[in-house]
Structure 1
């Protein structure tokens, strides 16, 4: 029996950026063609890419209003893609980059894709950056550094741990995931000398959730790169993003864990400074498309396995 092709939406992101260019390049990439997936391109027409779901014409004027228009189109594309996935018309979505300031100017009060998708789906989500070398999960995402200590609660770490464990098992096929928790303070606080959070908060939650650590940031990612851990939960955005981008920039994939559908995206932004020049690399988007098809396949296989009734003894 021939497997049904994966059905995936791909949003163009902010049309002012490199999204349309890299989507066009990725769809022509032979690796994407070999996946045998069915792709629906979602975004504005006249942005340089034929679209399956047309949100209206993109006609840049060169004025400041274009930021709000670009953000509005990016937000509308995410809304439409998520709706199609929630209705079962798509198995998952791949999102090209959007600009967070433009998104807000366009009427969408979210700091990024991850938070917007969580709101649209009505479920808690966790942000993972994954490559063939390293997987990093962010316990807190797009907030100011000064807000991190208050935002990093036991419940937040538990949620990240539970979602990461389920994602590694169900989507990545790792039967017994090994997850490390990165410390908040230098040297994991050095027994309270550089802060109490690692001893008072992170250590008890790590034990409760079956995590290793907390380990200092300057060693835990090295240990993961050497194969000791399947993922590292980072306490705040930049400590995790710096590690994954130094290790795998241009080939890492952003995966949103916890959604009822697959969502991936490239590991970079809109690159407004090079948009329209034809020089943007589509490599991370290609990797995101490949991973989306892989994750859809694993979810389908798990669903089929769960649907088969157990064989009666005798």
Structure 2
């Protein structure tokens, strides 16, 4: 059976509806796509960008008319409803995975709905205690020990137990969703030069190294802590399947430099498969017909590959 992917079309005033329509014009063979969003909005975009495409839409109605590039808090709840619908499609066995277009966190919060991001919302909706954000592209995979946190809170958030849980989730999902039989994880330090033997901070000595040691005792192949300014070298990365960065802007600038526009975001630890684009809503170009669907196409291909890998591992387990 073909992988069936629910594409949530994101912030309606952004580029999500446009790139979803353009995706249809390049729809990969062997994948069924279900667009989740307002039917009229999606039909209008499809008529403009993919007139020959066959549409399959799970309709979620807008609360207010859309003006490209102009956020409207009236549609804040609509965005979250598209995500809930995508999860419902999986729960009803009408989809195998969810692929998300970008949302604007600010407009959802302006609607009076606390929201920090897709990752946290999907974890809450699925009852998942801990998830891990991973971005992939340009030959790299970078996971994050913390996600959307102010930098001032990062050090206090890191614990041996939290890092050990993160490493377990990465190891499990690289095996289960990526089909990597023996994942190898390089773990970054927090401080410059990985703490310089404690002279630039003790988190490496007191937290990160003990977590790595504990992970190794369970069979996880983890190395480090590596200085974040040197780990992203070909000679190191050739023996690594994933780099674990301690915070958002430690690991992602390098990855986005290598892959922007063609990278993807994956939420590890969920009971479902979820991938996403690696960019934002691009309100400044919304409605102009110039948005690039490359990252969405990569996210779709990755989700389909994960569905196939997971089906393969399930068959193997039953055999």
Query: With structure 1 as the length reference, what TM-score do the two structures score?
Result: 0.91
* 1:39 matched residue in structure 2: 33
1:111-161 deviation line (CA, Å, top 9, x unaligned): 100000000111121111012510000110001000101111222211210
1:25 is aligned to 2:30: no
The match for 1:85 among 79, 83, 90 is 90
1:13 is aligned to 2:18: no
For 1:216 and 1:258, the matched residues in 2 are separated by 26
Distance 1:61 1:85, change over 3 A: closer
Contact 1:40 1:53 in 2 (8 A): yes
Contact 2:69 2:284 in 1 (8 A): no
For 2:71 and 2:97, the matched residues in 1 are separated by 29
Q: 1:105: Cα distance to partner?
A: 2.4
Q: 1:59: Cα distance to partner?
A: 4.3
For 1:58 and 1:20, the matched residues in 2 are separated by 16
Distance 1:44 1:105, change over 3 A: farther
1:247 is aligned to 2:258: yes
Alignment of 1:58-207 (within 5 A): 59-60=64-65, 66-123=71-128, 124-207=130-213
1:196-242 deviation line (CA, Å, top 9, x unaligned): 11111111111111320000000112257741211011100111111
Contact 1:42 1:52 in 2 (8 A): yes
Contact 1:133 1:225 in 2 (8 A): no
Number of positions where the alignment pairs a residue of Structure 1 with one of Structure 2: 302
Distance 1:304 1:240, change over 3 A: same
Q: 1:89: Cα distance to partner?
A: 2.6
Gaps of at least 5 residues in structure 2 are 44-54, 217-221
Query: With structure 2 as the length reference, what TM-score do the two structures score?
Result: 0.89
1:260 match: secondary structure: coil
2:125 match: secondary structure: helix
Distance 1:271 1:89, change over 3 A: same
For 2:126 and 2:153, the matched residues in 1 are separated by 26
For 1:41 and 1:63, the matched residues in 2 are separated by 19
Distance 1:226 1:63, change over 3 A: closer
Distance 1:64 1:28, change over 3 A: closer
Q: 1:53: Cα distance to partner?
A: 1.4
For 2:239 and 2:116, the matched residues in 1 are separated by 33
1:288 match: secondary structure: helix
For 1:76 and 1:8, the matched residues in 2 are separated by 17
For 2:127 and 2:303, the matched residues in 1 are separated by 21
Contact 1:5 1:37 in 2 (8 A): yes
For 1:288 and 1:182, the matched residues in 2 are separated by 26
1:2-40 deviation line (CA, Å, top 9, x unaligned): xx11111001100010000000001111xx332x22221
